[in-house]
A and B are shown apart, each in its own frame.
Chain A
Amino acid sequence: MNKIANRAVMCEVLKEAAAQDKDVVVLCSDSRGSASLTSFAEEYPAQFVEIGIAEQNLVSVAAGLASCGKKAFAVSPASFISTRSYEQCKVDCAYSNTNVKLVGISGGVSYGALGMTHHSAQDIAAMSAIPGMRVYLPSDRHQTRKLFEALLQDQQTAYIRLGRNPVEDVYEENCVPFEMNKATEIAQGSDVLIVACGEMVKPAKDAAELLAKQGISAGVLDMYCVKPLDQEGLLAAAAGKKLVVSVEEHAPFGGLGSMVAQVISANDPKRVINLALPDAPVITGTSQEVFHHYGLDAEGIAKTVSQALEG
């Protein structure tokens, strides 16, 4: 089991970049520890800005820095940066076209028993609705590295959601297929396509293996780029399938499932099932307990698929 969280990988990539480029700047809202960025702050104090517990100011200050040529990474818990400072993300980052990377850490239900104040189950919907805002949910530490390396090369704002805990690898260290804004097909299958993002990719991949034992052939698509959604990749992977199942650690409205259904219904109509968290405060528990409860683990996903194909 991998012990390295995606947020720790982000810190490593940002430190490597900061060593080469003085314009790489990281901002935190009393969140450097939660973000695994303490070592960045210690090693690159001139490129680190502490804002204190003030997420609105965090995002706007990042935009001001970016407007003067800085590559600003504003890092704060996903629940706060995506909703407390939503208007700053809309106006100062997307609308004003500043190169601010908004990183939501401890995303989804990572904070477990801390409750709905700390869960970010609305962030994909909220951020995707902003013109010019891109939304990325990397699935494992290897893809996180590729994604941050790519983000350091572009000049446009984006929202990136990372989970809190280490997650099992989806990819092997020396074999991480990655193309910016293109979904990664990690399994091919003929009966059903499972589309997942973020921490749901690993259980989706495992579900495909469970389904194979039942004689069901499932393809799996890692849609880490929720916006811009890779429509071409989605339609190619969905072609010929009886069913498309989307899986996300998000509220049931406005997230990956909504976008997948929109694209499938407009271009290649077929049944789409959206597996997501409920439209309610989620049950208390660890991420794994919560995923299991709502059928978002490998067994739950496999069960939904097999039942749907039987029906």
Chain B
Amino acid sequence: MNTLALKAYDLRQDVLDIIVSGGGGHIGGDMSSMEIMLTLYHRMNVDPKHPEDPNRDRFVLSKGHCVETLYAVLADKGFLDIEEVKAQFSRFGSEYIGHPHNTLPGIEMNSGSLGHGLSVCVGMALAGRMDQRPYRVYTLMGDGELAEGSIWEALMAAGHYRLDNLCAVIDRNHLQISGNTEEVMGHHDLHARFAAFDWHVIDVADGNDVDQLEAAFQEAERTKGKPTILIANTVKGKGSPLMENKASWHHHLPNQEEYEQISRDLKARKEALAKGGAAHE
């Protein structure tokens, strides 16, 4: 068993604690995107001892509302102190706000308003090419976020400039705040749409599976002459039946009873995984 898969459940508990402590957060997307950010940070060239290394890999969380998962992953990497995050999140005067803020170590850019991250990453990737630096650039977007027009401007530019040092990931959980993404603003064949913009497209059948994600990131790195995009099929609210695949859990704040239930479910999932079983029901 890949230990990252187990760690994902420990970090989900951190996310739950952060949200309950701060009195709010985007729990559904946090849970769906956990394995994506964890796998990414496990493989990225980033070092909390040298946060300004010009050769470091870059990550921009375009779906900035999933910052609680980013906090948990950055803490696991040594950039942040998880207990401090839990104690300070959303408190008066706190640095740990509900969207990424680049005064914190390990966070490159501020986000929160959707549709900016990919464009910023195009600039980072162009800079890397200009300076012949070896770094790679990553962004994570939501599937609901794809309705933002600026993303398609960025997709066009990345394809045009053949930015093969750029890799985007879609957290394809099929839900946004108002309901099913296909009913709110349909994406139909996302794979074909991205391919038409000259991207290499990888469908990750289970975007909550760290091994599948790692294989996809390796394929992205091997792909030359094109940027790569991963359509990571995930489960919103992943980790507890209480919140899985429920749009109402987009930013639901668990009550005490729900908190305890989710904590038990996360523990049970982790134990099942450790025994070699699937993390699914």
Contact = CB atoms under 8 A, between A and B. Distances in A.
Contacts of B120: 60-61, 63-64, 67, 92
Given A54-B153, A61-B157, A67 B116 contact: no
Given A57-B153, A60-B150, A95-B110, A68 B127 contact: yes
Contact of B109 (A51, A57, A63, A69): A63
A156 interface: no
Contact of B102 (A25, A57, A69, A97): A97
Q: Tell me if B's interface is mostly helix, strand, loop or mixed.
A: helix
A71 B145 CA distance: 29
B111 interface: yes
B154 A52 contact: no
Chain A interface size range: 20 to 34
Contact of B123 (A62, A87, A95, A97): A62
B153 A69 contact: no
A46 interface: yes
Contacts, number: 101
B119 interface: yes
A109 B235 CA distance: 52
Which of B58, B126, B160 has the most CB atoms of chain A within a 10 A radius of its CB? B126
Interface string A60-101: 111111111110100000000000000110011001111000
Given A65-B127, A69-B54, A91 B122 contact: no
A25 B111 CA distance: 24
B111 A52 contact: no
Given A91-B113, A95-B110, A60 B130 contact: no
Interface string B119-134: 1111111111011000
Contacts of A46: 130
A49 interface: yes
B156 interface: yes
Given A54-B157, A91-B111, A96-B102, A64 B150 contact: no
B276 interface: no
B123 A66 contact: yes
A56 interface: yes
Nearest to A22: B130
B113 A67 contact: no
Contacts of B157: 51-52, 54, 57, 61
A91 B130 contact: no
A60 B124 contact: no
Interface of B: 54, 58, 102, 108-113, 115-116, 119-128, 130-131, 149-150, 153-154, 156-157, 160
Contacts of A68: 54, 58, 123-124, 127-128, 131
5 contacts: A57-B154, A61-B126, A64-B121, A64-B125, A67-B124
Nearest to B107: A96
A87 B113 contact: yes
Given A54-B157, A96-B102, A64 B110 contact: no
Nearest to A53: B153
Interface string A149-174: 00000000000000000000000000
A95 B103 CA distance: 10
Given A63-B120, A88-B116, A98-B109, 20 more contacts: A56-B150, A57-B150, A60-B116, A60-B119, A60-B123, A60-B150, A61-B119, A61-B126, A61-B154, A61-B157, A64-B120, A64-B124, A65-B127, A68-B54, A68-B127, A69-B54, A88-B150, A91-B111, A92-B116, A96-B102
Nearest to B122: A61
Contacts of A91: 110-113, 116
A60 B154 contact: yes
A52 B123 contact: no
B156 A65 contact: no
Contacts of B58: 67-68
Which of A56, A60, A95 has the most CB atoms of chain B within a 10 A radius of its CB? A60
A142 to B, nearest CB: 32
Nearest to A56: B150
A56 B54 CA distance: 26
Given A60-B150, A92-B109, A96-B102, A65 B116 contact: no
Given A64-B121, A64-B126, A56 B153 contact: yes
B167 to A, nearest CB: 14
B50 to A, nearest CB: 15
Contacts of A61: 119-120, 122-123, 126, 154, 157
Contacts of A87: 113, 116
A253 B229 CA distance: 45
Which of B119, B128, B153, B154 has the most CB atoms of chain A within a 10 A radius of its CB? B119
B224 to A, nearest CB: 20
Nearest to A62: B123
A49 B123 CA distance: 10
A65 B124 CA distance: 5
Contact of B108 (A65, A67, A69, A72): A67
Contacts of A88: 116, 119, 150
A72 B58 CA distance: 18
